[in-house]
Each structure stands twice: as C-alpha cells, then as structure tokens.
Structure 1
Amino acid sequence: MATAFRATSHGYRADLDAHERRLLSSLCGDVIDLLQSRTDEVAEDSAEPVTDEDAESTQHLRQDPVLAHFSAELAGLGGSEVLDAPRDEVLARLLPAASRDPEQAGQLRRLAEASLRESKIADLRTARMLLESSPVQLAEDQAPLFGRAINDVRLTLATRMEIRTEEDAERVHRAAVSGRVKNTETFMAEIYTFITWLQETLFTAMVEFLPEDEDDEEGRE
C-alpha cells in the first residue's frame, strides 16, 4: 500500500507498490509519446519541398559547421511566422498559449514551444527512472521535476475525463470512492485520485521542508 511522500535527511521518500510504480511509469510514457507526436506534427507542417537550389545550399551548410549549427537552431523555431496551437485537447493544455492574442500567441509558440516540449519530456523520463526504485527516493533537486512530471500526467487524465470545474473534480472523487463494480470510469477516477493525492503529499513535504524565514532566524540570534 502506498505511503505519502515525506521529507528525509536525503530528500523525499514514498513507498509505492510495484504495480503502482509500473502504472505511473506507463502513464509517464504515454505523455512522452503524446508530446513526441506533437514534435512530429510540427516537423511535418513546417516541411517544404526541396528544390535544386535548396539542395545546393544544404551541401554548403554541411561544409560549414558554424552555419550548420545556426541553421539547426532556426529549424527548431519552425519555418513560419506563427505556430498553430495543437489540435489535440490534451496537448493544448500541456502546451498552453502564452497570450490571448492569436497572432502573438502563435509567434511566442513558434519561439518557445519546442523548448517546453523537450523540458517536459526530460522531466517525464527522469520520473520514469526514479520510479524504477523502491522506495521512491527523490533528492531535493529531483523533487520539483518529479512533481512537474506527475502534474502533466494528472493534467492529461483530467482533460481526457473532462474535469474542468470543482464540481467535475467532486464527481470524479465520488466515482473513485463509490465502491461500485469497476468499469473504465471508476478505474480512471481511482487513478486520477491517487495521482492527485501523491502529488499533494510531495508538495506538502516540500513546503514543510523549506528553510525558515531569515528574519525569524535573525530574531532568535
């Protein structure tokens, strides 16, 4: 049976059963695949037919490593002025717009989305690695990224389960604790509730472990 995250002298620790760790790791893997599908989608949308002139230019870049590096950096920004938001609802929530203005949002997305995707994928991969050990032991610098990865899994489930309001969250909680015969709805509700609980225990442990205010420390000197 899972135990809450708690602060230790080496960071944070939670005891999770093997099937719980496998489930979390599998869900992290699903989110990684989803984010990587967005990378493929952006690459396909920005691809253009290659002309003879383009081929000659590419050959020239290969001969100049400085220009090749600069070209790779530009390619990572996308080939158009703006980048459209993801069509998938989950990706749109994981990679939110940075502005309410559509054109500005598209420009900012072109500049920043690739970096955000890679950062999330890195967090999720590290979380999977940490979930391989029992108990789950997080160093202080690993706790925030593990929390971010679990939150992305939670957001993915919340979107798929159409949790948008407090009332929706309460509906899911009731389904999780109802004791009804298991079906897809109750199973997903139990997973979502478990991940929410695990995330909250980690954040609580992190807050409790924060150093005391410097002013308070000076007052005691």
Structure 2
Amino acid sequence: MDGWTRKNGHVQAELSQQEAAVIRGLVGQIKDMLTARADEAPEDELAQLTGIRTGPTTPPEDRVLERLLPDFYRRDPITGDTDEDEADAAGAMRSLHEPELLEAKTGNASLVLETCPKMGGEVQLTGEQADGWLSAINDVRLALGTALDIEEDMPDELPDDDLRREHLGVYQWLTWVQDSLVSALMD
C-alpha cells in the first residue's frame, strides 16, 4: 500500500492481498468480540414494549473490550474515584448507551469488511465510508495496543526474543494506514 489518495471526491488505496487479509482479519475479530458483548445484553420486557434497548450495567471483564467500551464516567486511576454523583450512575449510563456504541462499532466493522476486497485490490471510499474505516481501524489499534501493553515510551523495535515484536509491526502499520487516511481526507 502506497497510502490513501483523494480523487474525484473519494479516497482510494490499493491493498495487497496480505494487507487486505490483515485488515479483514483484525476488524473481523473486533466485530466478533463486540457482537458477543452485545449478545450478553439482558432481556428486558420494558425494552420490548418501549423499543429502548438496554445493555449490561457492568463493564466488560476482558481488558481489551473494557478499552473499547470504557465507562461513561471518568475514573481516577489511583483512587478509583469517579465524577459521578450516585453510586449506580455508571451502571445506568452504561446500560443506556452501550447498545448504541456497540451498534456503531459493529456497523463500522461491517463497512470495512464489505468494502475491503478479500483478495486485495482497489478500495474506493466516500467521505462517510472513510470515517467508518477510521473508527474501525482505531478500534483495532486500541485493542491491539491494549493486548500488547503498548506505552508511549515503547521503542519502535523490540528485541528479537520479545513475543510482541511482530504484532508491534502490525500496530505501527495500522497507525500509518490511519494517518494516511486522515491526511487524504484533509487534502
């Protein structure tokens, strides 16, 4: 991939078969994780009557999912204190808003899977589709960064014996893909 370019109101890029496989594979995994979380939503008779969907009141136990679906209140990392006024407010906010967040994230993942050619080739996106790609790639980067314990001061290359070495390369490539797409959208 040489990067995203803007042409005739679209952004486009040429993906090799391997690049398309990496994007499709990782986005597909994120979609599967998010779909499994959505399936955990409690059955709610009131939701069936009103059409208002509710989700779980507790954050995901998996740290990758927790990163993708953070609390709706800020939590002090040292003390654990939040800026919420009531003890159950975080659970109530999560229950109300998580289904919508899951729908948006799985929708973006589906968009990438629909528009990324399985065998590689040209990808041509509208501005709206490009925004969906940005969100989906960002979710993959967040998940991968969490799984790899990526920190700001991490070196660009890890020692040969570090099991995260090859995955870090994928993370860095996705960062470049995302940055290239942002640049093409801003042109």
Q: How does 1:64-83 map to 2 (within 5 A)?
A: 70-71=48-49, 73-74=51-52, 76-78=53-55, 83=57
Deviation of 1:184 after TM superposition, in Å, equals 4.1
Q: How does 1:1-221 map to 2 (within 5 A)?
A: 2-43=1-42, 70-71=48-49, 73-74=51-52, 76-78=53-55, 83-100=57-74, 101=84, 103-132=88-117, 134-163=121-150, 165-168=151-154, 171=155, 173-175=156-158, 180=160, 184-208=163-187
Deviations 1:174-213 (A, max 9, x none): 23xx7x58x74221011101100000010111122xxxxx
Across the aligned residues of Structure 1 and Structure 2, the Cα RMSD in angstroms comes to 2.4
List, as ranges, runs of 4+ consecutive aligned residues in structure 1 with deviation greater than 4 Å: none
Structure with the greater relative contact order (CA < 8 A, sep ≥ 6): 1 or 2?
2
Q: SS of the residue aligned with 2:124?
A: strand
Deviation of 1:42 after TM superposition, in Å, equals 2.9
TM-score scaled by structure 2? 0.83
Structure 2: tracts of 5 or more residues without a match: 75-83
Deviation of 1:72 after TM superposition, in Å, equals 6.4
Amino acid at match of 2:62: D
Deviations 1:48-81 (A, max 9, x none): xxxxxxxxxx8xxxxxxxx9x852624x214xxx
Q: Distance in 2 between matches of 1:110 and 1:13?
A: 38
Deviations 1:112-139 (A, max 9, x none): 1011101100100110111116211111
Q: Distance in 2 between matches of 1:40 and 1:77?
A: 11
Deviation of 1:9 after TM superposition, in Å, equals 1.1
Q: SS of the residue aligned with 1:85?
A: coil
Q: Distance in 2 between matches of 1:130 and 1:184?
A: 32
Structure 1: tracts of 5 or more residues without a match: 48-57, 59-66, 209-221
TM-score scaled by structure 1? 0.71
Q: Distance in 2 between matches of 1:159 and 1:72?
A: 37
Match of 2:80 in 1: none
Contact 2:72 2:93 (8 Å CA) reproduced: yes
Deviation of 1:18 after TM superposition, in Å, equals 0.7
Structure with higher Rg: it is 1
Q: Please identify which structure carries the higher helix content.
A: 1
